[in-house]
Amino acid sequence: MKSLPILLGLMLYGACALPSCMRASASEPLRYRFPHIFDLSYTPDTLHRCTGWFTDAGAWFGFTAPEADAWTSGFCGPFSLDMNRREWMAASAVTVNPADGPEGRPDSVCVYPGELLMATAYPSGSIAQRLNFIDASDALLSVDNTTGRPLRYAGLRWAPGVSLEKIGNTVLASHPSGELVALTFAPETEIRVADGNYTASVPARRSDHVVVSFFTDREAFEAGTAKIDSILADPAAALADNAARWDGYISKTLRSDMPADYDRIAVKAITTLVSNHRVARGGLLHDGIIPSHAVGYFVGLWAWDSWRFCAGAAAFDPELAKNNIRAMFDYQLPDGMVIDCIYTDPSENNARDSKPPLVCWAVDRIWEATGDREFLAEMYPQLLAYYKWWYAKRDHDGNGICEYGSTDGTLEAAAWESGMDNAIRFDSVTMVRNDGFDDAWSMDQESVDLNAYLANECRYLKKFAGILGETFNAPDPTERVADYFFDPERGFFFDRRLGGKGFVGDPGCEAYTMLWTGLARPEQVKAMMPLLQDTTKFSTYIPFPTVAADNPKYNPKGYWRGPIWLDQTYFAISGLRNYGYGDLADAYTRQVFDRLDGLKEGAPIHENYGTHTGERLKAPHFSWSASHLIMLYQEYGKAAKLPREKSEE
């Protein structure tokens, strides 16, 4: 098939050919080894729902590639990604066409990690467009024109109420919400604003650039003009910085001994986390990673989500991981509690509950990646206060074993605190008030996962205390948890009623945490293996569902009552590796990588998946799943220390 190379020289460090993107050579940036990493095709005003945007560098705005059957001659957007303002600012703020002819039709559209490309062929040559985020406010549109013809830029279908004005070589589009889109052209561009739109005329030249910027208000725009000018003054340097940043993400994560399709999964996971990065804004006082930019109600920061995201991002962007930790602790309460979730508007924050404690694990992964003692010293007092809060406000009978609970006494918030909102193990729970407090209620059930997490956090806090020369002075449950929650009759770990009055429920994913933390005794793990390897229960098509698949209450689309959550699958696989079942762990990892729908293709990574089908469920572009895919990738084929060796360190 005939191909047409485009975007040569400084315009492109890789190549895109028509009608499909070509693989890059070894001398080009790593991103070009991963074409079509996602399908981000969506034209505004089409009937179906948009499920993801091209966004990067912590930006609060994004773009899509136009659909083949609803073509625009420019990237679609920008789209405001703020939870309270989500709206297309334009169908396409910048369309690109020959000044003296009709629009062409696309020959190539490609999404790389951190880059959008599309090209259109004409009888006299081609027009290729490339979009890269330079920072959180500015995206650079690079145009490669081999037609020898002048170009005309114009907007397409601005949002209702948008007004345009020309300020020097910038077209400023003001939205009724107060947000602004600035389109800044090369100084010699002829710009005209009239009839609710603009046109910008460019003489025939090979290369041209437009900076597309997004601001919350006029003051931010005025403060950002100098940066815009610097980008236009040296676009090659800005693009080189972008390429170097993405090379860093990818090179710090990829292994040299993995199959190419598994490398692709890892890069897709990185791209998911980076696309969900948001810079500090409003009530979010530090940068962080949101669960999914594709779903409005997930545009905030959640506690245990954040701990997971930071664990996945620690190796390739430790500064982002540090700031995400800080963002949650910005709202730590005086009693040590870290609240459930925070938003740009603090009035929407949820302090009715906390979330499972995994933060010391995340901080340790940052420590192992950076050796940053100052960050450890900064966080240690806050981490210790949060750890102690659990024993002060969530240990109803004072026996050193904690329960999930809430500040308002509601079971709804207590279930949220577990992170497993509708799990079957909570079907018979009642709430009890903890003596001496108006804001401390517990479930009448002690949860195995909560206490496994706390014991694991205890280990890390002791490690940090040793590094910092501090004295650890808090409860230590590490020697009690394994025997307390293990039912020898059924050979599995279960929650217990308050006071150790009996085991609760049926086999479920909460037991995996005992393997992942290495707290289970080897003989207990051996007793668990028949259930874990039973194909009717946990060794399913996609392994390790949230409840045994033959449970009468199992629901294939029941959120925490059946589907696959990749954090829980990771806990089980990593846990098996801990106890010497490395070959089995690798086999289960291959099931995940090879069977999840669309994982090796252009589909987004989803919130959860079908146990028996691998079908994609719930939110797309989900950071939680991406983070655990990175960890599965990192651990594949590797041996782990036995739990007893861990505890001796």
Position 108 scores a pLDDT of 85
Taking only Cα atoms into account, the Rg of the chain, rounded to an integer number of angstroms, comes to: 26
- DSSP labels, 191-219: EEEETTEEEEEE-S-SEEEEEEEEESSHH
- Beta strand residue intervals within 175-306, DSSP E: 180-185, 190-194, 197-202, 207-215, 277-278, 288-289, 301-302
Alpha-carbon dihedral sign for residues 450, 451, 454, 456: negative
Identify the burial level of 65 via C-beta atoms within 10 angstroms of its C-beta, where 0-12 means exposed, 13-18 middle and 19 or more buried: buried
Position 288 scores a pLDDT of 98
Position 501 scores a pLDDT of 86
User: How many helices (DSSP H) and strands (DSSP E) are in the chain?
Assistant: 16, 28
Categorise residue 157: left if φ over 0, alpha if ψ from -120 to 50, beta otherwise: left
Neighbours of 600 (CB within 10 A): 15
Which of 223, 271, 281 minimizes the C-alpha distance to 250? Answer: 271
pLDDT band at 26 (very low <50, low <70, confident <90, very high): low
pLDDT digits (tens, 9 = 90+) for 280-312: 999 999 999 999 999 999 999 999 999 999 999
Percentage of residues in the chain with pLDDT exceeding 90?
Answer: 89
How far apart are the C-alpha atoms of 248 and 245, rounded to whole Å? 5
Q: What is the mean pLDDT of residues 527-536?
A: 98
**Residue with the larger pLDDT of the pair 508 and 19:** 508
Identify the burial level of 49 via C-beta atoms within 10 angstroms of its C-beta, where 0-12 means exposed, 13-18 middle and 19 or more buried: exposed
State whether residue 102 is helix, strand or coil.
coil
**Residue with the larger pLDDT of the pair 6 and 196:** 196
How far apart are the C-alpha atoms of 157 and 288, rounded to whole Å? 32
Identify the burial level of 45 via C-beta atoms within 10 angstroms of its C-beta, where 0-12 means exposed, 13-18 middle and 19 or more buried: exposed
- Fold classification of 9-230 is Beta-galactosidase; Chain A, domain 5 (2.70.98)
Asked if pLDDT for residue 22 goes beyond 60, the answer is: no
| Tokens matching residue 494 | 């279960």
| Tokens matching residue 324 | 């995400």
Give the C-alpha distances (Å, rounded to integers) separating 125 from 5, 15, 43, 94, 250.
11, 16, 25, 20, 34
Q: What is the mean pLDDT of residues 327-341?
A: 98
pLDDT band at 9 (very low <50, low <70, confident <90, very high): very low
Residue with the two structure tokens 């449970």: 551
How far apart are the C-alpha atoms of 510 and 149, rounded to whole Å? 64
Quick one: DSSP state of residue 19?
S
pLDDT digits (tens, 9 = 90+) for 569-581: 999 999 999 999 9
Q: Where are the domains of the chain?
A: 9-230, 264-644
- Given a contact cutoff of 8 angstroms between Cβ atoms, the answer to whether 636 and 583 are in contact is no
May I ask the CATH architecture of the domain 264-644? Alpha/alpha barrel (1.50)
- Given a contact cutoff of 8 angstroms between Cβ atoms, the answer to whether 621 and 40 are in contact is no
Position 4 scores a pLDDT of 30
Position 154 scores a pLDDT of 97
Position 607 scores a pLDDT of 98
- Given a contact cutoff of 8 angstroms between Cβ atoms, the answer to whether 416 and 352 are in contact is yes
Residue with the two structure tokens 């279930």: 415
- DSSP labels, 130-160: EEEE-SSSEEEEEEEE-S-S-EEEEEEEEPT
Position 642 scores a pLDDT of 58
- Given a contact cutoff of 8 angstroms between Cβ atoms, the answer to whether 324 and 309 are in contact is yes
Quick one: DSSP state of residue 61?
E
Position 13 scores a pLDDT of 35
Model-wide pTM > 0.85: yes
State whether residue 74 is helix, strand or coil.
coil
> What element of type H or E holds 382?
helix 373-393
Position 640 scores a pLDDT of 77
Neighbours of 649 (CB within 10 A): 8
| Tokens matching residue 607 | 């919130």
**Residue with the larger pLDDT of the pair 107 and 247:** 247
> What element of type H or E holds 620?
strand 616-620
| Tokens matching residue 364 | 């340790």
> What element of type H or E holds 129?
strand 125-133
β-sheet bridge partners, residue 209: 142
Position 646 scores a pLDDT of 44
End-to-end CA distance of the chain: 60
Neighbours of 574 (CB within 10 A): 21
pLDDT digits (tens, 9 = 90+) for 145-181: 999 999 999 999 999 999 999 999 999 999 999 999 9
How far apart are the C-alpha atoms of 114 and 407, rounded to whole Å? 42
Give the C-alpha distances (Å, rounded to integers) separating 378 from 288, 308, 431, 454, 535.
18, 20, 36, 21, 47
pLDDT digits (tens, 9 = 90+) for 180-213: 999 999 998 999 999 999 999 999 999 999 999 9
pLDDT digits (tens, 9 = 90+) for 105-127: 667 899 999 999 999 988 889 99
Residues counted in the chain: 649
pLDDT digits (tens, 9 = 90+) for 344-377: 999 999 999 999 999 999 999 999 999 999 999 9
What average pLDDT does the chain have?
93
Asked if pLDDT for residue 252 goes beyond 60, the answer is: yes
Buried/exposed 483-501: b ≥16 CB within 10 Å, e otherwise: ebbbbeeebbbbbbebeee
Give the C-alpha distances (Å, rounded to integers) separating 396 from 113, 337, 421, 449.
49, 16, 21, 17
- DSSP labels, 535-599: TTTTS-SSS--SB-TTSTT--TT-TTSSSB-HHHHHHHHHHHHHTT-HHHHHHHHHHHHHHSTTT
Identify the burial level of 225 via C-beta atoms within 10 angstroms of its C-beta, where 0-12 means exposed, 13-18 middle and 19 or more buried: middle
Give the C-alpha distances (Å, rounded to integers) separating 41 from 54, 133, 590, 612.
10, 18, 29, 29
pLDDT digits (tens, 9 = 90+) for 36-52: 999 999 999 887 889 99
